[in-house]
Amino acid sequence: MRNIRSFESFTPQIATTAFIDESAVVTGNVVIGADSSIWPCCSVRGDIHSITIGKRTNIQDGSILHVTHDSDYAPGGFKLTVGDDVTVGHNVILHACTVEDLCLIGMGSVVLDGSVVQSGAMVGAGSLVPPNKVLEGGYMWLGSPVKRVRELTDKEKNFLQYSAKQYVNLKDRHSVLS
């Protein structure tokens, strides 16, 4: 596939059960886990550092995933790690950060270099997570810059797993059509 591209010595490693839309582009040092999905018009560019996306994670339409190279300004650079059962909404930018398991990153949000979204956190739509910020799990985070708003309800916590499962089902339905 032309939308799955090698870069220098790196070729994306994509689980056989993952779904990559034909309009998404995945380049270089990228690993995508089982039952994950990359939706239309996404860019997952592991050209100057690595990107790892876990299992049952969905990266929705128009999202951009990139990294930071090693330099005097960022010694060692910053890779991008997205855990298992993560929902990344439409038009999100994840840049050289860590999103742990069972999180939701709301539509239009930006998560920047060195920041960590801990397991079980929700980032509300349109939020900006500044560099090196740590978002504690179990809470709703919202704003620009992001602030902890409140503890998640049980219904919201259950939704995190529900959303991941629904996107696995949806990617299966799309895979039949491919």
What CATH number corresponds to the domain at position 27?
2.160.10.10
Dig out the tokens for 70 from the structure.
């090693």
Query: Which pLDDT belongs to residue 176?
Result: 81
Give percent of the chain above pLDDT 90: 97
pTM over 0.75: yes
Dig out the tokens for 126 from the structure.
């349109």
CB 48 within 8 A of CB 65: no
What is the average per-residue pLDDT within 75-79?
96
CB 53 within 8 A of CB 59: yes
SS3 content of the chain, % helix, strand, coil (to 5): 15, 40, 50
Domain count along the chain: 1
> Domain range spanning residue 45?
4-177
Query: Which pLDDT belongs to residue 1?
Result: 58
Computed over every residue of the chain, the mean pLDDT equals: 97
CB 32 within 8 A of CB 65: no
DSSP notation for 16-80: TT-EE-TT-EEEEEEEE-TT-EE-TT-EEEEEEEEEEE-TT-EE-TT-EEE-B--SSSSTT-B-E
Whether the pLDDT of residue 74 is over 90: the answer is yes
pLDDT tens across 22-73, in order? 999 999 999 999 999 999 999 999 999 999 999 999 999 999 999 999 999 9
